[in-house]
């Protein structure tokens, strides 16, 4: 057995030196981040962009048809982990009804088109490493034109709710980005759906950045 | 026989003096307790790998991507040997009454090459030197940055929304100050031979923004 010991306190070291990492005065190991939080996953070809066209879609009350849907097919071998969801407002929305944007899911949706998912016009997810060496193809299916077996079940509200703000509102520009940060994992045979709740929500460009992670070997 | 070493650390609080040698601290769940030493991007900045790509302070209008260009564009030339990794996008509102309602988007041209010319993906490109975030560093950016003046053969392809939007809002409106900032957090890497442009969905926008993109330039990793 070997009890690891590290030096305590500030250090100034040159490139190429071999030294142990240091501790704080409270015994914490001092660490420094290399790049952004998701860089390693992105560089490994595990991140994809699932996006509507720039012109966007209207988010209606959740229903069985035409939902923003990422479908993790049964047997994909991957979990889908949505990391960041971005909403961009598009002009032309004149009749906003107050409500919320929420996340939903359909369970046991299999792997093949037919039943329970009868229509699914696929849009290819884009690798988030542009021209990356992995050339990995997404294991998910993404669509905004589809027929699901039933209205998906609510997971939780997104952090965005709406009143009757509209194009002509004299309000300041705004940011609609939610970091899910690994808080939802979609296993094979399930969907991740974004829709309105109890209202008709205006037209948004919607982009999700998600990770596709091989299913871990758990006991 | 396999040479194995069992590594042990010490559970619980510690009060240590500088220059001592001590065991690293563990939590009661067996986790190693760590403390970030500097800001998240300090290591890259101090190595001279982070650059600031800005428009003029007077700002520009963000418009729909088109062959006519005129949109802020970072171009990672083919053969640069570096990836461009955006860290943060910051928009500073400058002025304008009666904005066009729309959202701000990212667009890209793949296979953009490394040469400017008629009939090539990049037809014109008025470079402005990015500023190294290690002020005083002599390290030069491997990217090319056109904050406003550029033209293309293909129209840059929509990549995703930034999540930043505007209503008709008027700058005379009495609202609280607001933030227009998006962190990328390593979720996008622009390999050599690609561009990254900032545009909008709306046909025109009348509002002017000072645009700053902060990004890293790292050698392309050896990944299978």
Read off the pLDDT of residues B97-153 as tens digits, 9 standing for 90 and up: 778 899 999 999 999 999 999 999 999 999 999 999 999 999 999 999 999 999 999
pLDDT (average), residues B54-73: 95
pLDDT at site B218: 96
State the average pLDDT for chain A.
91
Mean pLDDT throughout B3-15?
88
Assigned token pair, B130: 């990015």
Residue-wise pLDDT tens digits, A10-49: 888 888 888 888 999 999 999 988 889 999 999 999 999 9
Position A133 scores a pLDDT of 81
The stretch A54-66 carries a mean pLDDT of: 93
Q: Give the B window 78-137 contacts with A, CB below 8 Å.
A: 83, 85, 87, 91, 93, 99-105, 108, 110
Give ipTM to 2 decimals.
0.89
Domain count, chain A: 1
Tally of residues, chain B: 224
Is position A118 within any domain? yes
Classify A163 as helix, strand or coil: coil
DSSP B87-153: EEEEEEEEE-SSPPPEEEEEEE-SS--S-B-TTSSEEEE---PPEESSTT--PPPSSEEESS-EEES
pLDDT band at B222 (very low <50, low <70, confident <90, very high): confident
From the CA of A4, how many Å to the nearest CA of chain B?
Answer: 5
Residue A128 three-state SS = coil
Domain residues for A163?
39-214
Rg of chain B over all Cα atoms, to the nearest angstrom: 22
Mutate to test the interface with B, among A11, A26, A32 (most CBs of B within 10 A): A32
Residues 6-45 in B contacting A (C-alpha not used; CB under 8 Å)? 6-10, 13-25, 32-38, 40-44
**Residue A68 domain flag:** yes
Cα distance between residue B127 and residue B150, in whole Å? 9
In sequence order, the 6+-apart residues with CB closer than 8 A to the CB of A159 are: A178
Q: Is residue A190 part of a domain?
A: yes
Q: Which residue of B has its CA nearest to A126?
A: B159
Ranges of each domain in chain B? 50-219
Instruction: State the sign of the Cα–Cα–Cα–Cα dihedral B55, B185, A183, B223.
Output: positive
Q: What percentage of chain A has pLDDT greater than the value 90?
A: 68
A83 in a domain, yes or no?
Answer: yes
């Amino acid at each position: 057995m070997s009890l690891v010991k590290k030096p305590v306190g500030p250090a100034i070291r040159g490139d190429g030196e071999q030294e142990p990492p240091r501790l704080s005065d409270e015994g914490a190991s001092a660490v420094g981040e290399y790049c952004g939080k998701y860089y390693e996953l992105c560089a490994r070809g595990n991140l994809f962009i699932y996006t509507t066209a720039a012109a966007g879609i209207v988010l209606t009350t959740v229903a069985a048809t035409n939902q923003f849907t990422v479908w993790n097919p049964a047997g994909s071998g991957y979990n889908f982990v949505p990391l960041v969801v971005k909403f961009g407002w598009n002009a032309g929305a004149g009749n906003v009804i107050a409500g919320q944007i929420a996340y939903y899911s359909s369970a046991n949706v299999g792997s093949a088109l037919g039943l329970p998912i009868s229509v699914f016009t696929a849009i290819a997810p884009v690798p988030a490493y542009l021209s990356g060496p992995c050339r990995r193809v997404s294991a998910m299916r993404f669509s905004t034109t589809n027929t699901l077996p039933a209205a998906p079940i609510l997971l939780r509200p997104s952090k965005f709710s709406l009143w009757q703000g509209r194009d002509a509102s004299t309000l300041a520009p705004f940011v609609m980005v939610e970091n899910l940060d690994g808080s939802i994992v979609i296993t094979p045979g399930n969907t991740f759906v974004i829709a309105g709740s109890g209202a008709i929500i205006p037209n948004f460009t919607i982009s999700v950045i998600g990770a596709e992670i091989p299913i871990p070997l758990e006991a | 026989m396999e040479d194995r070493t069992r590594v042990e650390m010490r559970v619980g609080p510690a009060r240590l003096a500088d220059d001592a040698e001590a065991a690293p601290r563990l939590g009661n769940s067996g986790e190693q307790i760590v403390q970030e030493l500097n800001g998240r991007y300090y290591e890259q900045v101090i190595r001279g790998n982070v650059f600031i790509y800005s428009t003029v302070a007077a700002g520009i209008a963000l418009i729909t991507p088109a062959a006519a260009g005129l949109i802020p564009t970072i171009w990672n030339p083919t053969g640069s040997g570096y990836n461009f990794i955006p860290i943060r996008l910051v928009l500073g509102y400058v002025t304008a009454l009666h904005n066009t309602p729309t959202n701000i988007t990212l667009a890209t041209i793949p296979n953009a090459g490394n040469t400017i010319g008629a009939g090539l993906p990049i037809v014109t490109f008025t470079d402005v030197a990015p500023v190294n975030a290690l002020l005083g560093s002599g390290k030069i950016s491997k990217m090319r940055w056109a904050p406003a003046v550029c033209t293309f053969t293909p129209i840059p392809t929509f990549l995703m929304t930034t999540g930043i939007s505007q209503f008709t809002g008027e700058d005379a409106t009495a609202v609280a100050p607001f933030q227009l900032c998006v962190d990328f957090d390593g979720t996008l890497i622009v390999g050599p031979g690609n561009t990254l442009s900032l545009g909008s969905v709306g046909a025109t926008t009348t509002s002017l923004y000072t645009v700053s993109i902060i990004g890293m330039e790292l050698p392309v990793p050896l990944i299978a």
